[in-house]
Amino acid sequence: MVDVAMSAERLNRLGPSRWATLPAVCYLIVVTQLPFVATIYFSVHSWNLLYPARPFRFVGLSNFTFIVTDPIFRTAIENTIVFTAVPAVLTMLIGLGLALLVNRLTFGRGLAYSLLFSPFLIMETVNPIIWKTMILNPIYGLLNFALTRFGLPPVDLIATAPRIAIIIMIVWQWSPFMMLILLAGLQTVSQETLEAAQIDGANSWNQFRHITLPHLVPYVSVGMLIEAILILPVFGPIYVGTYGGPGNQTTNLMFSVYKTLTEQYEIGRAAAGGIITAIMTTVVALVLLAYVRPYMERN
Amino acid sequence: MRTRRNASLTALTFVIAIVLCFPIIWTAFTGFKNEADAIAVPPTIFVPLTFQHYWDGVTGEYVHYLLNTIIAVMTSIVAAFALGLPAAYKLAFFPGRKANDILFFALSTRFMPGVAVIVPIFLLYSKLGLIDSMFGLVIIYTALNVPIVLWLMRSFFKDVPYELVESALLEGAPHRTIFVEIVIPLSKAGLATTAFLLLILTWNEFFFAVNLTGQRAATLPVYMASFFTTEGQSWARMSAAAILAVAPVLLIGWFASRALVKGMLAGAVK
């Protein structure tokens, strides 16, 4: 071990110059960090492109206070939380179930992967097209055909429970992702430990409860971390599926910033909405990361 | 008893897999129907089928958006590899003290929501005439792809035996030679996996595309969104278009799913 460490030290001195990493880092700074700093700058100013006569002026935090007090933006903040937390939990449960099932397959594993992975490959604007028309359409959709077949009353989810419709779309798309992560976890469960437990007379529930599940905790945490960060700015299903409606029932922060920017041209307010979204993402990331870090460091 | 249970669980797994895939299968099937049959209640299965809608798709404006998407995806992947591979090489073999900082900085840029940067980019692009240009879109997509190249390729490079790099270096081989002749040839599978993943993510990217492009430079996700707004009533036509839009990624995903899974997990777990 000491040898390796020493040779690593020596190699580092022989390593390529900083020109290897500099272009990539600079590129990321220019394309992502500078705009972010500019967003902060715009967020404390009032500026509307539709009214060029109005001065571009410093307004302090009033864009932010507007957002947290305005009922539409408040709904957007609430929906951002709902559309992140609920799918994160549901995909974790569904993904776990799928992973457990796929993990015990003795044949056709490749086919099962391909089928189960498919929803994740569907683009986020095609996903809501499929659900809104083929499945959830109140007149021609398959869901109501099935419901009436079983003597149940038809539903119009997009009109009466649009949030549930959006959540269904997100969960459908992201469950395969969670399945993959948990499958990786399941494949590293020690078979010896499981066999030893079996010999000691533990039934399969107890094996799952006391060996498999604890082993999966870090995978669940990492999966939920990545997923929460990627689902929080969900956009396609809302843009195509409901356009934020009916009213603004399904508007999230991402969508309200889009509308503020492209329909009202309120630069300052859109920027403030962007900053709030970034803060929420960071908080989610930090909380989950604090939870994940012990496991990462142990490895 | 045990085998019986296994068999039924296997059957259950495939039933669930087909149910989850069913919306896609049904959409593909709807694309083959006539418009009247596509919206028939109760849903129809045994009806005359036609290739017309798929044919209209591949001979219509779909092609324009398909080409745009291919250009945006390919250019941004090549650019991201050009920027990211040398960095990944350094981070894998000569990490130094700042390696973790660089990696986490890159990751944080990837995870930043688009709305946190869109306002200034939108304004700047309007000023520079980059709105609705492929070039403008590629700039952003490259930035989205670089962090993934760094993370995944660093972990794939780490699978290359350290001693190979070390001995070549001690014999005085320049980094360029080591990189091109040793590291890259031994990481082909990793390169393919990373390219596949980037292809899927960029192909499906919607937020920046809808904000920064119009008719000229729009990609397939934008095309599908506008198709739905303008022709959402023609289910058969729309279904065919939707399937054509997702088909390339779906086929590659099926073909590569096992390698992809392995590669993504290697990058995530290490």
Q: pLDDT digits over B104-127, tens only?
A: 899 889 888 999 999 999 999 999
Q: How far is A130 from chain B (nearest CA, A)?
A: 7
Query: Given this model, what pLDDT does residue A154 score?
Result: 84
Give the angle A26-A32-A36 at the CA atoms, nearest 5°: 125
For residue A57, the cross-strand partners are A46
Amino acid at B270: K
If 0-12 CB within 10 Å is exposed, 13-18 middle and 19+ buried, where does residue A186 land?
Answer: middle
Is residue B8 located within the same domain as residue B126? Answer: no
* Chain A residues within 8 A of B20 when measuring between CB atoms: 115-116, 118-119, 172, 175-176
Query: Given this model, what pLDDT does residue A13 score?
Result: 67
Q: Which two tokens stand for residue A240?
A: 């195509």
Tell me whether residues B258 and A38 touch, CB distance under 8 A.
no
Is residue B15 located within the same domain as residue B145? Answer: no
Q: Which of A273, A269, A282 is nearest to A251 (CA)?
A: A273
Tell me whether residues A24 and B27 touch, CB distance under 8 A.
no
Tell me whether residues B245 and A123 touch, CB distance under 8 A.
yes
SS3 category, A107: coil
Confidence class for position B270, pLDDT limits 50, 70, 90:
very low
Mean pLDDT of A110-127: 90
Query: Given this model, what pLDDT does residue A130 score?
Result: 93
Q: For A239, which residue in chain B has the nearest alpha carbon?
A: B225
Query: Which residue has 């896609």 as its token pair?
Result: B24
Tell me whether residues B228 and A129 touch, CB distance under 8 A.
yes
Tell me whether residues B210 and A285 touch, CB distance under 8 A.
no
Which residue in B65, B164, B257 has the most chain A C-beta atoms within 10 A of its own C-beta, making it the best mutation to test that interface?
B257
Cβ of B186: how many Cβ atoms within 10 Å? Answer: 16
SS3 category, A197: helix
Is residue B264 located within the same domain as residue B179? Answer: yes
Query: For residue B44, is it within any domain?
Result: no
- CA distances (Å), origin B127, targets A267, A274, B124: 15, 21, 5
* Chain A residues within 8 A of B42 when measuring between CB atoms: 145
CATH of the domain at A269: 1.10.3720.10
Q: How far is B67 from chain A (nearest CA, A)?
A: 17
Tell me whether residues A122 and B89 touch, CB distance under 8 A.
no
Which residue in A21, A90, A114 has the most chain B C-beta atoms within 10 A of its own C-beta, making it the best mutation to test that interface?
A21
What average pLDDT does the structure give for chain A?
86
Query: For residue A284, is it within any domain?
Result: yes
Is residue B15 located within the same domain as residue B128? Answer: no
SS3 category, A46: strand
Domain that holds residue A202: 71-298
As a whole number of angstroms, the distance between CA B54 and CA A235 comes to: 28
Q: For A99, which residue in chain B has the nearest alpha carbon?
A: B13
Is A206's pLDDT higher than 80?
Answer: yes
Is residue B214 located within the same domain as residue B91? Answer: yes
CATH of the domain at B137: 1.10.3720.10
A–B CB contacts, 8 A cutoff, strictly below: 278
Ramachandran region, residue A151 (left: φ > 0; alpha: ψ -120 to 50; beta: rest): left
Q: How far is B184 from chain A (nearest CA, A)?
A: 15
Residue A153 DSSP label: P
Q: Which two tokens stand for residue B62?
A: 């779909």
As a whole number of angstroms, the distance between CA A122 and CA B200 comes to: 9
Nearest by CB to residue B30, choosing from A11, A121, A134, is A134
Mean pLDDT of B254-260: 75
Q: For B30, which residue in chain A has the nearest alpha carbon?
A: A134
Is A12's pLDDT higher than 70?
Answer: no
As a whole number of angstroms, the distance between CA A48 and CA A27 comes to: 30
Query: Among A120-134, B120-134, B246-260, whose mean pLDDT is lowest?
Result: B246-260
Contact B16, A98 (CB under 8 A): yes
Is residue B88 located within the same domain as residue B210? Answer: yes
Q: What number is the ipTM of this complex?
A: 0.89
* Chain A residues within 8 A of B106 when measuring between CB atoms: 24-25, 28
Q: For B226, which residue in chain A has the nearest alpha carbon?
A: A240
Query: For residue B51, is it within any domain?
Result: no
Query: For residue A200, is it within any domain?
Result: yes
Is residue B21 located within the same domain as residue B132? Answer: no
Query: For residue A243, is it within any domain?
Result: yes
Q: What is the pLDDT of residues B42-73, one digit of tens each?
A: 888 888 888 988 998 889 899 999 999 999 99
Give the angle B25-B27-B32 at the CA atoms, nearest 5°: 100
Q: For A123, which residue in chain B has the nearest alpha carbon?
A: B204
* Chain B residues within 8 A of A28 when measuring between CB atoms: 105-106, 109, 143, 146-147
Query: For residue B131, is it within any domain?
Result: yes
Is residue B185 located within the same domain as residue B103? Answer: yes
Mean pLDDT of A19-42: 92
Query: For residue B257, is it within any domain?
Result: yes
Tell me whether residues B224 and A123 touch, CB distance under 8 A.
yes
Is residue B20 located within the same domain as residue B124? Answer: no
In this structure, what are the phi and psi dihedrals at residue A48, rounded to the nearest 5 degrees?
A: -125, 120
Query: For residue B55, is it within any domain?
Result: no
Q: How many domains does chain B have?
A: 2
Nearest by CB to residue A140, choosing from B41, B253, B265, is B41
Tell me whether residues A145 and B113 touch, CB distance under 8 A.
no
Tell me whether residues B122 and A261 touch, CB distance under 8 A.
yes
DSSP letter for each residue of B148-175: HHHHHHHHHHTTS-HHHHHHHHHTT--H
Nearest by CB to residue B90, choosing from A7, A16, A112, is A16
Query: Among A38-47, A196-205, A212-221, B1-10, whose mean pLDDT is lowest?
Result: B1-10
Is residue B132 located within the same domain as residue B237? Answer: yes
A208-237 core/surface letters (b: 16 or more CB in 10 A; e: else):
eeebbeeebebbbbbbbbbbbbbbbbbbbb
Confidence class for position B22, pLDDT limits 50, 70, 90:
very high
Tell me whether residues A126 and B120 touch, CB distance under 8 A.
no
Is residue B24 located within the same domain as residue B86? Answer: no
Is A83's pLDDT higher than 90?
Answer: yes
Task: Calculate what percentage of chain B has a pLDDT beyond 70.
Answer: 95
Is residue B101 located within the same domain as residue B17? Answer: no
Query: Among A125-134, A204-213, B118-127, B135-144, whose mean pLDDT is lowest?
Result: A204-213
What average pLDDT does the structure give for chain B?
88
Query: Given this model, what pLDDT does residue B129 score?
Result: 93
Task: Report whether the peptide linkage leading into residue B42 is cis, meaning its omega lies within 30 degrees of zero.
Answer: yes
Q: How many domains does chain A have?
A: 1
Tell me whether residues A118 and B24 touch, CB distance under 8 A.
yes
* Chain B residues within 8 A of A257 when measuring between CB atoms: 115, 118
Is A192's pLDDT higher than 90?
Answer: no
Q: What is the pLDDT of residues B172-183, one digit of tens each?
A: 888 889 999 999
Which residue in A48, A121, A181 has the most chain B C-beta atoms within 10 A of its own C-beta, making it the best mutation to test that interface?
A121
Is B130's pLDDT higher than 90?
Answer: yes
Query: For residue A15, is it within any domain?
Result: no
Query: For residue A205, is it within any domain?
Result: yes
Tell me whether residues B206 and A236 touch, CB distance under 8 A.
yes
* Chain A residues within 8 A of B119 when measuring between CB atoms: 35, 38-39, 42, 261, 267, 270-271, 274
Residue A58 DSSP label: E
Confidence class for position A105, pLDDT limits 50, 70, 90:
confident
As a whole number of angstroms, the distance between CA A194 and CA A102 comes to: 18
Domain that holds residue B168: 65-269
* Chain B residues within 8 A of A134 when measuring between CB atoms: 23, 26-27, 30, 235, 239
Is A2's pLDDT higher than 60?
Answer: no
* Chain B residues within 8 A of A36 when measuring between CB atoms: 112, 116-117
* Chain A residues within 8 A of B122 when measuring between CB atoms: 261
Query: Given this model, what pLDDT does residue B76 score?
Result: 97
Mean pLDDT of B29-36: 87
